[in-house]
Structure 1
């Protein structure tokens, strides 16, 4: 039985973690399905954005303690499948939005952080929880959290094990919007759906440029963008726009 539901709303692929009895914990089976679904969305020319959410009552309760114990005994395959799913989401060429319903705990928070944007339902809860259970954070947690909220808030959430609810998460920049819980998916799909009017290849290249800008110096980013902009001047979306504008002006 599949642990991931995939549906399409226009140009948006909605991926729903679907193991609600276990609060969508990140089993290796679920994570492999998630990695495959992200790859499939990126390979589908009809898809321009991805929304990731969880089947109620939670977004994701983190990793399976049995898998962590197995890793302690040398069997790390399950844990690496979980790690790989984070990287596959983070490496998506398409924009990704986490629609966080209920709790995002530990590795579940990692999954939300791996997305480009986060929208929270009013019932959302974010809890790093690693230190509470005597576990060092993994899966790039510190790197992602630091870039989402800055040093002081990352230290508060992680080093002092402070959970935050939806509104506080918005205030510190962990999420971009808070919406009523019963309208969460609709809000996330509506935001992701803005991509439908955009040229897919240009969208992917622009996200790649943002990634470069995040790690490069100003001059490197400047030169890269200059080349990409010159390239776009010769491509159909821009050429056709100019032609339509010229025709409109001539008609006047």
Structure 2
């Protein structure tokens, strides 16, 4: 399989594009490159949001690669974990159909924008797909998808809350750029809010309340300093 990852900047947006020639498991080198890009976000304060553009393979009918090696699975796991805990708002952008190899990456992104007529293949094991499905979908739909192995229409995933926004085919990226621009201006505030959301599932109510008070206090101090 030939696969590549490229990055581009559009104002305060970082656009990461993944392209492949054939379906099948993602190469280890591609996952490692994706992980490296996500890990640098913490030090890039001028980036307000990230778009991960996942394109279907150029030859969707081509032969799929063999099962991934253990090292390739570990590289995918690391990239998925980094996406799930990215320091900036992160949106998966999916034009057309979504093959099984891309599903873990798409579900690892907290937000998703997809083509309104696309179909998503049932995911394979890897990347922590069980946890990703449990976070993104109602249990009944997740079980149906895994067991029937039939592609799900993007419209059904949108109705279930797994896709934030549907756009006409050919306009998905532009819709994502416009949508992300609404909250990309304040990267510091976004990082604070995402951090609070990330800790909520494991924190007690009292711990979460204390964390939010500290965050509000830091925001007030920052506002006073900027006004000086």
Is the shorter-chain TM-score for this pair beyond 0.5, marking a shared fold? yes
Q: Give the distance between the partners of 1:237 and 1:23, measured in 2 at CA.
A: 53
1:226 maps to what in 2? 213
**1:174-195 C-alpha deviation (Å, 9 max, x unpaired):** 1111100111001111122223
SS of the equivalent of 1:211 reads helix
Distance 1:18 1:57, change over 3 A: closer
Matches within 5 A, 1:1-252: 3-19=4-20, 21-23=21-23, 25-55=25-55, 65-68=65-68, 71=69, 76-130=70-124, 137-198=125-186, 200-236=187-223, 240=227
1:249 maps to what in 2? none
Q: Name whichever structure is richer in helix by fraction.
A: 1
Higher-RCO chain (CA-CA 8 Å, sequence separation at least 6): 2
Alpha-carbon contact 2:137-2:161 (below 8 Å) kept: yes
The alpha carbon displacement at 1:214 in A equals 2.8
CA RMSD in angstroms, aligned pairs only? 2.5
Q: Give the distance between the partners of 1:55 and 1:109, measured in 2 at CA.
A: 11
The alpha carbon displacement at 1:233 in A equals 1.2
Alpha-carbon contact 1:11-1:196 (below 8 Å) kept: yes
SS of the equivalent of 1:222 reads helix
Show structure 1 runs of 5+ residues with no match: 131-136, 244-252
Distance 1:155 1:28, change over 3 A: same
The alpha carbon displacement at 1:152 in A equals 1.5
Distance 1:215 1:153, change over 3 A: farther
Alpha-carbon contact 1:57-1:102 (below 8 Å) kept: no
Alpha-carbon contact 1:3-1:33 (below 8 Å) kept: no
Distance 1:237 1:22, change over 3 A: farther
TM-score (norm 2): 0.87
Query: How many pairs align?
Result: 224
SS of the equivalent of 2:184 reads helix
SS of the equivalent of 1:36 reads helix
- Structure 1: 4+ residue segments shifted above 6 A: none
Q: Give the distance between the partners of 1:205 and 1:174, measured in 2 at CA.
A: 23
Distance 1:152 1:238, change over 3 A: farther
The alpha carbon displacement at 1:24 in A equals 7.9
Q: Give the distance between the partners of 2:97 and 2:110, measured in 1 at CA.
A: 19
SS of the equivalent of 1:206 reads helix
Larger gyration radius, structure 1 or structure 2: 1
Alpha-carbon contact 2:115-2:172 (below 8 Å) kept: yes
TM-score (norm 1): 0.80
